[in-house]
């Protein structure tokens, strides 16, 4: 594909973002899970848990996330806050790829710790947010998440951008919570943070498309690549750079672009 001028590239990506950022997107995306809830805490907890297992086959992700919500009595906040050890036992049988029942139980305990001792997910991320980035906040979140007694193996399921991770799943979760797209897809229920602080969920699809369009040169999909892509997308839209996640993902998954 011939290199597009900046204005042409912006027009192209704006058009594609609008095309994919609509309610139809929900039908085949894991974001449908938090859309089953209306209470803020239910949305953010179901969203966080769904994003945590969002790798691999999308149908499998959605099915397993639905099953997990059923095991949380379809009231994730109430379960997190009020669970007993006996309630946790049924989670022992949960598995999604390398995320197993022990990990699942640990996540519930850590979430309870955050809501009881740190005023919830939104406040915790907002406390450590920087002007134009949430990557430092993600790293601090991981530290807080595992400051209680925990299984060492479970740490691998929360990425740390300060260790050069692209942290795709947490960046996707943050997009869901922070960005109000006025299209009914992203929720925009977190008022303490701004869409301008978000980073694009970088994966194989968005990375390949970004490289094909000249937005990214680095070959690995890591933290350094994310910083490079952030810089490119902020040049196109400083207030809402992650709107282009819909364009990059849609072009890669649905149009086999790149």
pLDDT per position in the chain (258 positions), as tens?
445 678 899 999 999 999 999 999 999 999 999 999 999 999 999 999 999 999 999 999 999 999 999 999 999 999 999 999 999 999 999 999 999 999 999 999 999 999 999 999 999 999 999 999 999 999 999 999 999 999 999 999 999 999 999 999 999 999 999 999 999 999 999 999 999 999 999 999 999 999 999 999 999 999 999 999 999 999 999 999 999 999 999 999 999 886
1 domain-assigned = no
198 domain-assigned = yes
- pLDDT at position 115: 98
Residues spanned by the domain of 248: 6-253
118 domain-assigned = yes
Structure token digits, residue 15:
């058009």
Q: Which residues contact 23 (CB under 8 A, 6 or more apart)?
A: 183, 184, 185
Helix H or strand E segment including 19 = helix 6-20
80 SS3 class: helix
168 domain-assigned = yes
* ∠ CA 232-237-243, rounded to 5°: 95
- pLDDT at position 97: 95
- pLDDT at position 1: 46
What is the rounded distance in angstroms from the CA atom of residue 202 to the CA atom of residue 195? 16
Inter-residue contact 169 to 177 (CB < 8 Å): no
What is the rounded distance in angstroms from the CA atom of residue 192 to the CA atom of residue 1? 40
**What are the angstrom distances between the C-alpha of 11 and each of 173, 236, 247?**
26, 10, 11
Tokens 């925009």 sit on residue? 188
258 domain-assigned = no
- pLDDT at position 2: 46
Inter-residue contact 166 to 224 (CB < 8 Å): no
Number of domains present in the structure of the chain: 1
96 SS3 class: strand
What is the rounded distance in angstroms from the CA atom of residue 111 to the CA atom of residue 120? 8
């Amino acid at each position: 594909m011939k290199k597009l001028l900046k204005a042409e590239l912006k027009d192209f990506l704006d058009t594609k973002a609008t095309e994919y950022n609509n309610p139809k997107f929900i039908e085949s995306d894991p974001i449908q899970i938090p859309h089953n809830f209306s209470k803020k805490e239910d949305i953010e907890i179901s969203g966080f848990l769904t994003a945590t297992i969002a790798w691999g086959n999308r149908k499998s992700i959605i099915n397993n996330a639905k099953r997990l919500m059923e095991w949380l009595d379809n009231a994730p906040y109430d379960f997190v806050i009020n669970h007993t050890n006996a309630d946790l036992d049924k989670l022992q049988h949960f598995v999604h790829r390398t995320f197993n029942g022990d990990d699942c139980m640990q996540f519930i305990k850590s979430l309870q710790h955050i809501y009881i001792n740190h005023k919830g997910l939104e406040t915790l991320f907002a406390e450590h947010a920087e002007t134009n980035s949430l990557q430092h906040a993600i790293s601090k979140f991981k530290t807080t998440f595992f400051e209680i007694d925990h299984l060492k193996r479970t740490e691998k399921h929360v990425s740390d951008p300060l260790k050069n991770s692209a942290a795709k799943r947490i960046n996707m979760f943050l997009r869901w919570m922070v960005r109000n797209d006025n299209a009914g897809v992203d929720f925009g229920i977190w008022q303490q943070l701004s869409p301008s602080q978000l980073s694009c969920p970088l994966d194989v699809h968005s990375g390949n498309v970004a490289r094909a369009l000249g937005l990214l040169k680095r070959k690995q999909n890591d933290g350094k690549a994310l910083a490079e892509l952030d810089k490119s997308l902020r040049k196109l839209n400083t207030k809402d750079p992650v709107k282009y996640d819909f364009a990059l993902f849609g072009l890669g998954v649905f149009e086999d672009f790149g």
